[in-house]
Chains A and B, each alone.
Chain A
Amino acid sequence: MKISMIRPVFLLMTLSLLLGTMAQANDAPYTFESVRDEKRYKALIEELRCPKCQNNNIADSNASVSVDLRRLVYEQIQQGRNNDEIKTYFSDRYGDFVLYDPPVKSTTLIIWFGPLVALLLSAIVLLAVIRARQKRVIPPDPDQAMLDDQLEQFDKDLP
């Protein structure tokens, strides 16, 4: 969501002009032999990050290096290279930085498996806590009794 803060992009665009990334390149669209190749091309250029932009993939960026990288993706698809080979080609040159889909390795284990492990662990803890609570006798609590009364009234309205 494009928060209001695009103003400085202006500044950065000026900056990139100075660095010469915006040099116009003749960016004619490509034609493909098969739907599969076209879809692969689309998918790949959306997953590769433009190395000289703020945070854009090479599909959405008009920086001149993006135009070149798109051309290289196209050429390699035409040469029959598979997705992994093409991605490796780019990460060899620009590092994992250009892959929006970071490869699973020791340093990225936490982002790929951390959230899932956290979800599972907390679900287990939760189940254990609820079960334990059910067994415990909780002393009567006037506040709670009032809520319980209100609740009976409330539940009648529900399907």
Chain B
Amino acid sequence: MSLSRWLVAGLPIVGFIGLALVLMSGIGKDPSILPSMLIGKQAPEFELPLLYEPEQIVSKQDLLGQQYFINVWGSWCPTCQYEHPFIEQMSNEMNLTVVGLNWKDTRDEATRWLKQFGNPYETILFDDIGTTGIDFGVAAAPETFLISADGTVLAKYAGQLTPEVFDTTFADMLTP
């Protein structure tokens, strides 16, 4: 058989096998997961007032020097309620530093929510316009970031934080 005969006979089936491999690679993966652009980079600069003390402004520099989590939440977000007990566990039992980023919320509703469900946060930054959240690449609450002592973003998880998620996403990167 000539080369061109081989090509005509073989190319379609080879193309199909390639296609099938591509399709197979996608099965079981969740295409909606959006990885963070910030992993391994410096966290964006921010200067935000605190939720409880509006006149006090906290910047990224103020938080340097220790590893900490930023948990993006809002009182309007049901999933934040579901993950809240675990955030409390992180803060109280695991002795981790969790900074809250209260996103697109009002002070009244946020404080009422914390009163009802408890406040596990070391500090709570108040981002009512939501721009700092967007600088972090937040698409929807809740999202959680792990920031190193020098301000680098180590890991991010979007969605409800659970012990399993914590183990796979963050546990390796914790400094004792």
Q: Do chains A and B make direct contact within the complex (CB under 8 angstroms)?
A: yes
CB proximity of B80 to chain A, nearest CB, Å: 7
Q: B-contacting residues of A (Cβ < 8 Å)?
A: 16-21, 23, 25, 51-52, 54, 63-65, 68-69, 72, 92-95, 97
CB proximity of B83 to chain A, nearest CB, Å: 11
B37 and A65 form a contact (CB under 8 A) = no
A65 and B140 form a contact (CB under 8 A) = yes
Q: How many A-B residue pairs have CB under 8 A?
A: 61
Bound state CA distance, A72 and B132, in angstroms?
A: 12
Starting from the known contacts A65-B139, A93-B37, 7 additional A-B residue pairs (CB-CB under 8 Å) come to: A16-B140, A23-B74, A23-B104, A51-B34, A63-B140, A92-B37, A95-B35
Bound state CA distance, A51 and B89, in angstroms?
A: 30
Q: A-contacting residues of B (Cβ < 8 Å)?
A: 32, 34-35, 37, 74, 76-80, 104, 129-131, 134-142, 159
Bound state CA distance, A64 and B137, in angstroms?
A: 14
**A residues in contact with B140, CB < 8 Å:** 16, 19-21, 52, 63-65
**A residues in contact with B77, CB < 8 Å:** 19-20, 23
CB proximity of A57 to chain B, nearest CB, Å: 14
CB proximity of A25 to chain B, nearest CB, Å: 8
CB proximity of A42 to chain B, nearest CB, Å: 21
A95 and B34 form a contact (CB under 8 A) = yes
Given known A-B contacts A51-B34, A51-B139, A20 and B74 have beta carbons under 8 A apart:
yes
Q: Residue B78 contacts which of A18, A94, A97 (CB distance < 8 angstroms)? A: A18
B131 and A72 form a contact (CB under 8 A) = yes
A19 and B137 form a contact (CB under 8 A) = no
CB proximity of A14 to chain B, nearest CB, Å: 11
Which 8 residue pairs are nearest across A and B when measured between Cβ atoms? A20-B77, A51-B139, A52-B139, A21-B140, A93-B137, A52-B140, A19-B140, A23-B76
A94 and B139 form a contact (CB under 8 A) = yes
**A residues in contact with B137, CB < 8 Å:** 51, 93-95
* B136: nearest chain-A partner, CB-CB: A93
B34 and A97 form a contact (CB under 8 A) = yes
Bound state CA distance, A93 and B36, in angstroms?
A: 8
A19 and B131 form a contact (CB under 8 A) = no
**B residues in contact with A97, CB < 8 Å:** 34
CB proximity of B25 to chain A, nearest CB, Å: 16
**A residues in contact with B135, CB < 8 Å:** 93
Residue among B76, B80, B139, B159 with the highest chain A CB neighbour number at 10 A: B139
**A residues in contact with B32, CB < 8 Å:** 54
